[in-house]
Amino acid sequence: MLDVTEEEHVRSKERAIQHIPRLRANLAALSELSIKVLKVPINIGRNNHLRFMLMSYTIKQIEHSRSLLRLKSSVDTTLVARSMLEGLMQLLWAMKQPRRRPLMWRVFAFILDWRLLERQWSQGVVVDSETERHIRWGLRRYGKWFLTKEARHAATARKPLPKDPYTKNWYGEREAAIFRDVGGQVLLEGAYSPFSEWHHWRPGAFGRLLSFDKQTSTFAMTTADPNQVAMALATGFQCLWQTMRLLNSRCRLRIGRDLIDLRRRQLALGK
């Protein structure tokens, strides 16, 4: 006889299996709409950093959605959905300061180029002088935005900066902090954290996929988890849908009704 926990797990698995075909269909429809929209050139303006960031993130979210569909019943769908969540949260975080943060995302390239320059120098590679001047110009103009806490203290005290004084990423925050800042606490706890267990090879992720046979002292491991796959598909839809809604509002793509219709289809699964 099943205990309450096991019974709930069985029911949850059955619901997931029932919903997965429609979750896939909804994500496929949204992906097709997004691809169709991007086939027509979209004017993002010459110096509109927010639109540039939006377009770039949209293209990646579309590619991720296609990967989700290709992976079918694999638990690796959670890895793709996790990346989609990170992208959406970064985008929402950037839009809280739409003039500065998208520019930060774009000019962090100077930090990456400088690090490459440093490696090339250490290896004795000859660097083009014009390229070096351009990178130095970028650092003088934007480098202060990305100084680590240690580097800022050193600069204030007029002491030498660390060998690499810059943050590891353009936003300089932990992912969890960004989730909370944009109101994504539910997604952080309900999707991103469970998906991260599989991403980081944690025992809990394996535990959900393992089964043991005491009589034969053997174990089996599946790579298909309907609950996780359903959550990944739902998460992927949410990430692409919100990204497309933002792009539509900023670039006037006239797909508002289509997005609303797809959203209604998705919400109908919860009834």
Output the 3-class SS for 81-112. Answer: HHHHHHHHHHHHHHCCCCCCHHHHHHHCHHHH
**d(Cα 27, Cα 5) in Å, to the nearest integer?**
31
Contact 42, 54 (CB under 8 A): no
E strands of 28-162, at which residues? none
Q: Residue 2: its pLDDT value, please?
A: 43
Q: Residue 12: its pLDDT value, please?
A: 86
Terminal Cα distance for the chain, rounded? 29
Coil/strand/helix, residue 170:
coil
Mean pLDDT of 162-187: 94
Q: Is the pLDDT at 135 greater than 80, yes or no? A: yes
Q: Is the pLDDT at 157 greater than 60, yes or no? A: yes
Per the DSSP assignment, residues forming a β-bridge with 219 are 212
Mean pLDDT of 214-229: 90
What pLDDT band is residue 6 in, cutting at 50, 70 and 90?
Answer: low
- Give 42-68 pLDDT, tens digit per residue: 988 888 999 999 999 999 999 999 999
What pLDDT band is residue 259 in, cutting at 50, 70 and 90?
Answer: very high
Contact 52, 109 (CB under 8 A): no
- Which H or E run contains 219? strand 218-221
Please tell me which residue, 212 or 63, carries the higher pLDDT value. Answer: 63
DSSP 8-class letter at 144: G
- Which H or E run contains 12? helix 4-38
